[in-house]
Amino acid sequence: MRALGPYLDNLLMRGRACFSKEEAMKALGQSSTAFLAAAARLTKKHRLASPKQGFYLILRPEDQVTGAPAPVLWIDPLMTHLGVDYRVSLLRAAAFHGASHQAAMVFQVIVPKQIPALELGRHKIQFVYQAPHAFAETNQPDWLDRMKSDAGFAKVAGVELTLLDSARYLHKAAGLNGAAQIVHDLGAKADPRKLANAARAYENSAVRRLGYLLEHFGHVRQANALLPLAQKAKSMKPLDPSVKRLATLTGAGGERHERNMKWKLDLNETVEIDS
């Protein structure tokens, strides 16, 4: 029976920084009890961390300050371990694609399953649920990019999915103005045809919100690609759904908010971004 410490050193020499309980037990010839006892000792010594049960990260000296390596280094093997497909999106994807104002304090991952958020050292990973049928329609290789790291690649939403996810999950994208900033920064990079095709899997209200923001910032080709979907809408929706219903009808002084009939939106909030 081999010891766990040298096994970790061997994995690091081979460029591996994570492993599962099952593969370690098999390689070491250890029982579950023996492995867990050894893993607990090394966790106390800050050589190991475990973001999810049965999955371990090997901590280098430089990782011990932050409590774990950067999530991009291990999100792909973690999701493989969990058996769940994924894409990195929202604020982290926006920063990856060059949204200059996005300092991603949280690593956000779109998944077709409810998974609790996790916090490991200074790192926060937030799993954002998308209905399985919509996720399957959108998580297409042609609409994804790859986030490269020393450990390999992580799946990341392409520009088009990043825009759509930001418009759909406003509350996870720093609100209306956070999403607007992403649209301002990335809208011109979106392929209109890809955008329109991917948008079919999203709620029509989110598509209209994105179309309005694209047009607002002068990304006309991209906005026009979404217009046929917006024209199918039969009712008005608030630009910012987080604002209470009464506030969508009148402003602070009792005046009615402007309505945009082209995108069928109640403009219940003013869009403000950093220039």
Phi, psi of 18 (to 5 degrees): -150, 160
**Tens-level pLDDT at each residue, the chain (275 residues):** 589 999 999 998 888 889 999 999 999 999 999 999 999 999 999 999 999 999 999 998 888 888 888 899 999 999 999 999 999 999 999 999 998 765 667 899 999 999 999 999 889 999 999 999 999 999 999 999 999 877 679 999 999 999 999 999 999 998 999 999 999 999 999 999 999 999 999 999 999 999 999 999 999 999 999 999 999 998 999 999 988 654 444 554 555 668 999 999 999 999 988 86
Please state the pTM of the whole predicted model: 0.90
Residues 246 and 114 both lie in one domain: yes
Residue type, 144: L
What confidence tens digit (pLDDT) does each residue in 179-188 have? 999 999 999 9
Residues 123 and 51 both lie in one domain: no
* Structural domain includes residue 9: yes
Identify the CA nearest to 93 among candidates 146, 129, 136: 146
Phi, psi of 236 (to 5 degrees): -80, 150
pLDDT for residue 102:
57
Cβ neighbours, 10 Å, residue 163 = 30
Identify the CA nearest to 214 among candidates 182, 190, 187: 187
Structural domain of 186: 73-266
Task: Work out the widest C-alpha separation in the chain, in whole angstroms.
Answer: 77
Query: In sequence order, what are the residues at sequence separation of 6 or more whose Cβ sits closer than 8 angstroms to the Cβ of residue 44?
Result: none
Residues 22 and 82 both lie in one domain: no
Cα 239–Cα 244–Cα 246 angle in degrees, nearest 5: 100
β-pairing, 259-260 vs 265-266, is antiparallel
Residues 200 and 101 both lie in one domain: yes
Residues 97 and 223 both lie in one domain: yes
Cβ neighbours, 10 Å, residue 81 = 21
Between CA 264 and CA 160 the distance in angstroms is 22
Residue count of the chain: 275
Between CA 179 and CA 166 the distance in angstroms is 5
State how many domains the chain has: 2
pLDDT for residue 101:
65
Answer whether 209's CB lies under 8 Å from 239's CB: yes
Answer whether 154's CB lies under 8 Å from 72's CB: yes
What confidence tens digit (pLDDT) does each residue in 191-249 have? 999 999 999 999 999 999 999 999 999 999 999 999 999 999 989 999 999 886 544 44
* Structural domain includes residue 273: no
Residue that finishes a domain, picked among 15, 31, 64? 64
CATH code for the domain of 49 = 1.10.10
Helical segments of 103-158, H only:
132-138
pLDDT for residue 105:
78
Residues 49 and 93 both lie in one domain: no
Answer whether 268's CB lies under 8 Å from 240's CB: yes
* Structural domain includes residue 42: yes
pLDDT for residue 243:
83
**Strand, helix or coil for residue 11:** helix
* Structural domain includes residue 154: yes
Answer whether 269's CB lies under 8 Å from 240's CB: yes
Rg (CA), the chain: 22
Cα 81–Cα 107–Cα 55 angle in degrees, nearest 5: 25
Residues 223 and 144 both lie in one domain: yes
Phi, psi of 220 (to 5 degrees): -70, -45
Residues 141 and 259 both lie in one domain: yes
Residue whose structure tokens are 């409590």? 67
* Structural domain includes residue 274: no
Between CA 183 and CA 174 the distance in angstroms is 13
* Structural domain includes residue 130: yes
Between CA 107 and CA 42 the distance in angstroms is 26
